[in-house]
Amino acid sequence: MLMKKKLLAISAALLAAAPANATTGLVCSTAGNRPIQLALVISHTAVPAVVSVRLTDNRREVPAAVAQSWFDAREVRVDLVDRNAMRHEARLRATRHGANYDGSLWRNGKRRWIRCREG
């Protein structure tokens, strides 16, 4: 019993000493009627990547998953699919302009201007 407690204490200490993986968030929104919004969580590990996303179209949540992504100081690119990866939901391409990322969002065959801000 004492050995189990020691092992648990060592395991807890090792977990606490592990480096924290920092994350950031971007909130991307289109303008005009039927706004589309993406809320992205980005990991800052050896290779930064979009790890999760929330897609809303006209204030209705659309179940989506990240198919592929690219994020660096100059640009963000994200392709979203449905949760079964059978249908393309959206494509984001944006480049940094000052504190924001501006670019295009393709959804349902239409291209729209989008701005992303840290959030």
The owner of tokens 């990991």 is 43
pLDDT at residue 72, as a whole number: 85
Please check whether residue 104 is in contact with residue 30, taking contact to mean a CB–CB distance below 8 angstroms. no
Entry pTM: 0.77
Task: Give the model confidence (pLDDT) of 33-53 as tens digits.
Answer: 899 999 998 887 777 777 889
pLDDT at position 44: 74
CATH T-level fold of 21-118: Lipocalin (2.40.128)
| Res. 17: pLDDT tops 80 | no
Residue 13 has pLDDT above 50, yes or no: no
Instruction: State the chain's mean pLDDT as an integer.
Output: 83
**How far from each other are the two terminal CA atoms of the chain, in whole angstroms?**
47
For residues 90-117, average pLDDT: 96
Where does the pLDDT of residue 21 fall: very low under 50, low under 70, confident under 90, or very high at 90 and above?
low
Residue of 101, 83, 84 whose CA lies nearest to 92: 101
- For the chain, the domains span 21-118
